[in-house]
Structure 1
Amino acid sequence: MPRAFIIELPCLEHSAIGHAAHLVEMLRSANLVASLRLGRRAPRFGWRWVDGQGRPLPAMPHADEGAAAEGPAQAVFVSALHCPDIPSIRDIVAAHPALVRRITTAFDQGLAVCTLGSAAWFAAAGGRCQGRLVALPWYFMGGFGLDFPGIELAEGQPFVDDRPWLSASHPEALAPMAVALTRHAFGDDLAAALAAVLQPDAQRERATRAALQDRRIPATRNSVLAHAIAWLEARVEQPYDLQALAHAASTSPRTLLRHFQQELGHSPLDHLHRLRCARARVLLEITLESVPSVALACGYGDASAFRRVFLRYVGMAPAAYRERHALRAPRRRWRVDALDGRATGIDV
């Protein structure tokens, strides 16, 4: 049976349950990415909603799905509290000694303890966080620093992985927390794949749009360099022609070379190779096209030349890159069930 990583989700009357549910949705995304990449061999996250005493809460988002994974909890996530002020936070923590003991035990057992915002008070109350670093909203730092002077406050860091304590200051930092949990549970490859799904990536966005061949030069981009870059982006798969590129940018080849070197530190040809490799990364990640087909789509008629360029600019061969970053497993891992037409994963 594939290995599972179980996260316990304690909820109190004052807990921001929606944020915990948001983390669950990202764990579901991690499970989906893992299944696309590995089929039936994929590891998976499980989760258990419990109250402050550790008793199950079945009527919670995706509770049955999370409970399907068997095994002991390996992490605890405590969501932020809906409180008007810091004294209210202190009162709630004092009123729930069982949850404080549960988190203290988790630290002692080496489990990952994850907190969002004001939930850091629960982690700190057991005395196991001395000398550690915590991410907090700025408006809680003063009170928390007075209560726990031995814990270092992270300035300008919305997420801190000071394992076994993982802390997020704001809900926006739950995505890097989910990625860190995936790395801790299942390794770098699945973590990188999840990060590609959860977190914005401007380079991938540009490469994807270019791959769709739907690029136009915006009217506001009127510099020589901007026009040249836009011209290259719209013609990634076409042969390199310095004279035509300079003509499109309304300048001479010599001046264009100088602009690229001064502003970007590389030549137009280097820039084209980077654009092509960016497109190739996207195609290797989200399609099942062969490496020669990807090479052709990126302007390389010779697959061997493409492999050399990709290795130089990306740091690994195309096949190795796909093995590490592809969101879906190769075709040979999938079949269509003849009875109901659904795609199912198979081990090979």
Structure 2
Amino acid sequence: MLTNVAVLALDGGHAFELGVFCEIFGMDRSDDGLPPYDFALVSATGTLVSTRHGFRVEATHGLDRLEAADLIGVPASDPDVPQPPQLYEALRAAVARGARVLSICSGAFVLGEAGLLDGRRCTTHWRYAAELARRYPRTRVEPDHLYVDEDPVITGAGTAAGIDTCLHLVRKLQGSAVANDIARRMVTSPHRQGSQTQYVRRPDPGRRSGSLTPVLAWLDAHLHQPLTVDQMSRRAHMSPRTFARRFQQEVGTTPLQWLTGQRILLAQQYLENSEEPVTAIAVRTGFGSAETLRHHFFRRLGTTPHAYRRAFRADPAPPGR
């Protein structure tokens, strides 16, 4: 059931994520034959709630409104600002009686503080993923997902992924036709391919630290070449076994997994900023062939190089080129 929706207005909250809930569930689209929602903004701290952007929103309901909600929306807010204890209690009580909760971006920290992520998979914005996992070790954070549905707890990744998350829930509970029509009214895709990994910026080699920093910088400059662990370890003046162990300690992954990830990040840059064909990009990034690039690209990002270019190309070529 999805008819009664209550969305939290949090002090210091982010306006876009709050707006996503308002746009999807707070608009009356019955003129298009879409089901209306009994929608309310809820606050635990008073009627007027300050956003992080310098303006205030009016929440006309208190926490008692959560008692009737089928769905409770939790938008992004500052993870370091605690919410009132009664808010966490109200969220736990709502889930216990059968309501769903859905967070967007750093809203996952509110659910974590309420204990609702314990024993569940979840996601958040990729910038907050490590901190979420550190604070709430009983959850399993999956930072590459646009959203994670651990019914009755649904978590979405950063900002625009909130649209994907809400439309997913609408599709699940009310069918594809309803979700597609809402997306059409919003002029957005009803379903995006891929994961939020494709949005992570390629790290600057100059910002790394550790004994392997010179080796990593050299590897960054030679990603187009065939590279093996033996070659890497010789460059580091270590045995392959010692090098692999040190690499895992300092970088957090294996040398070959890191190498593949860096090559994919470099391929993303070429796809965004050049007109080179995928076959040429595959050579430039050390994959050798377009087929190998496509295989690793889809495995890591959940989308194809061509689809990624269409989504992220900074200066699209004119039609017919």
TM-score where L is the length of structure 2: 0.46
Structure number with bigger Rg = 1
Greater per-residue helix proportion? 1
Higher RCO (CA 8 Å, separation ≥ 6 residues): 1
Could you state the TM-score of these two structures normalised by the residue count of structure 1? 0.44
